[in-house]
Structure 1
Amino acid sequence: MFSKLLYKNRQIARGYAMDDFDRQLVALLRLDGRMPIAVLAQKLQVSRGTIQKRLDRLISSGAVRGFTVRTRQELDETVLRAMMSVKTSSKKPAALIKALNGVPEVVSLNTTNGVWDYIAELRAASLADLDRALREIRSIDGVASTETSILLGAV
């Protein structure tokens, strides 16, 4: 209940409150980001114009930041994946977040609770690339400490 309220408040704070229809639309797009508008309209039992209007609003408000391709992990065996916990000492979190997101190997960045402030998911083509990214992150002003785990395989 609390997380649902927090999520709702976060959306309102950004100037757009997602309703149940928006959440259903986003859920379908998470399953297939290339689903045609006509199919979305059929599944949600509304007109194509309604879907287009909602998508435009979700995109312009920032609630939907983009569309992406997701592959099964085993199809992309050449990519190293790692999770990095980051503790900060920064008085300017916006600048720190911008710097962390500016590292090309960082594919997602999340706040967390407990000892760590952020959890970053990293992807790199080689150990050398991962090592360079780790050094780059550790040198960012405001990063106090990190702990990294390389993901070896899904179970």
Structure 2
Amino acid sequence: MNNTDSQILGLLRDNARLSITALATTLRISRATVQKRMEYMEANGIITGYTIKVKPDFEKDMIRAWMHIRVEGNKAAAVIKALRLEPAVEKLHTTNGKWDLLVELKSESLDFFDKILERIRSIQGIHSTETSILLSTHKV
């Protein structure tokens, strides 16, 4: 990666819908250069997809939670594979320390949330969990 790649990534993180023309104009480089750099980053797995950001209060009634998971022995890969199939899992992180995984969950209601927790806790290889519901978020 070079400095141009970093600049392109920065602009796309802010707005993934920017056109190649808009990127080229903003960075004052040719469209061909932007296209070539994006193709390079896509081919090398630096860019793996494009997405949108939703306004934080858009889903204000959604229940969000962090679940810490301790995995039995060396079963982390199997647990991660199972968690990736769970629709309520928004983000999944491996960690060090007391907990092996940190999972961000999202649910429409407490009833659904209870069912999500039940499904996750029944995954083979999970030793224990601890879940905290997010009450509010503050910008740093």
Short-chain TM bin: 0.7 to 0.9
Q: What CA distance in whole angstroms lies between the structure 1 residues aligned with 2:23 and 2:103?
A: 32
Q: What CA distance in whole angstroms lies between the structure 2 residues aligned with 1:128 and 1:59?
A: 40
| 2:96 counterpart letter in structure 1 | N
Cross-structure match for 2:2: 19
Q: What CA distance in whole angstroms lies between the structure 2 residues aligned with 1:146 and 1:20?
A: 42
The CA deviation at 1:42 is: 1.8
Quick one: which of 32, 36, 42 aligns to 1:53? 36
What is the root-mean-square deviation in Å for CA atoms of aligned residues? 1.7
Q: Is the 8 A contact 1:90 1:143 kept in 2?
A: no
Larger radius of gyration: 2
- Map of 1:58-69 to 2, 5 A cutoff? 58-69=41-52
The CA deviation at 1:23 is: 2.3
Cross-structure match for 1:120: 103
Cross-structure match for 1:111: 94
Deviations 1:58-83 (A, max 9, x none): 22333222222212221211211111
Gaps spanning 5+ residues in structure 2: where? none
Q: Does 1:88 align with 2:33?
A: no
Cross-structure match for 1:42: 25
Gaps spanning 5+ residues in structure 1: where? 1-17
Question: Residues 58, 90 of structure 1: CA spacing in aligned structure 2 closer, same or farther, 3 A cutoff?
Answer: farther
Q: Which moved further from structure 2: 42-51 or 32-41?
A: 42-51
Deviations 1:43-72 (A, max 9, x none): 222211222222223223332222222122
Q: Is the 8 A contact 1:90 1:96 kept in 2?
A: no
| 1:86 counterpart letter in structure 2 | I
Q: 4+ runs of 1 displaced by more than 4 Å?
A: none
The CA deviation at 1:94 is: 2.5
Q: What CA distance in whole angstroms lies between the structure 2 residues aligned with 1:127 and 1:20?
A: 46
- TM-score computed with the length of structure 1 as normaliser: 0.80
| 1:124 counterpart letter in structure 2 | S
The CA deviation at 1:140 is: 1.0
The CA deviation at 1:121 is: 0.8
